[in-house]
Amino acid sequence: MRKNTTLVLLAILTIGSFSIIPSLANADTQFDRTWARTRGVINRWEDNPAFGNLRADVFVTNNNGTVHEWARVFAMWTNENVEMDDPGITLPLPPKGNFTIQFYTARLTNSTEIRFDLPGYDLYIAGNWTVTNTTTTVTVDEFGHPVSITRTLEPVVTDAHGNFTVANTTTTMHKPLELAIDGIGTLKGFVYMGMIRHIEIKFFDVDGDGKVDIRDLVKTAKRYKAVPGMRGYSLDFDFNGEGMIDIGALTTIAANIEG
């Protein structure tokens, strides 16, 4: 059951990851505002296999030399060694019975430097990170519907220094990413979707129609209380990066609805 549950986590996190070519580009310094969005797959933790995803949203303004930076970066991964023939094509069904899953989450708590022009990199983010080891147990009814969710959160490091980078390379289809955090080690993977541009990116526009509205709130509400291992969970809806789509995700979208 543990292996099947982990397969579900990996498949949900990476579905579609292998068919999208990244489009990160160098920022044009003549503009005062820059937005960036990156989505990636994590497949190594130091020398061991890892399975997970990473999301990063960045906004930087430069007003006559006065720079303001904002970044929201989350990573989620498990270090269990699982077998999967083709995670980009096959999506196993969620488990019918009760299950327990263990995973790690890393969250950027404070960015100290954001660069789009560092030699060798499309994106560089330095700052402080908090990493948590989360164990989630889901109890389901006879129809497979969750009736209770219990989570145990164990802090691993708090406000540890770390760097997130996306390499600027044309030698591979997917650009390499790394997240190195003191006390944790280095996570490695690749970008499957990325952009850097001077036209606003609506970070909470989950349906991709170019605006944050009631439809985004409804789509997120349908995933309420979903956790890894359940089909409704996606890191794109987990705006706090805590391993559950909770009330915080709903209030975040509600606070950003336009008009």
Write down the domain spans for the chain.
2-210
Q: Give the model's confidence band at 85: pLDDT under 50 very low, under 70 low, under 90 confident, else very high.
A: very low
pLDDT at position 259? 66
Q: Percent of the chain beyond pLDDT 70?
A: 81
pLDDT at position 88? 36
Q: Give the model's confidence band at 157: pLDDT under 50 very low, under 70 low, under 90 confident, else very high.
A: very high
CA 250 – CA 244 distance, rounded (Å): 12
Mean pLDDT of 82-104: 56
Mean pLDDT of 201-206: 84
CA 187 – CA 181 distance, rounded (Å): 9
Q: Around Cβ 91, how many Cβ atoms within 10 Å?
A: 15
Mean pLDDT of the chain: 81
Give the pLDDT confidence of 97-141 residue by residue, as tens digits. Answer: 788 888 999 999 999 999 998 999 999 999 999 999 999 998 988
DSSP category for residue 209 = S
pLDDT at position 92? 41
User: Position 64: which residue type?
Assistant: N
Give the pLDDT confidence of 4-13 residue by residue, as tens digits. Answer: 444 344 433 4
pLDDT at position 21? 32
Helix (H) or strand (E) holding 9: helix 2-14
pLDDT at position 106? 96
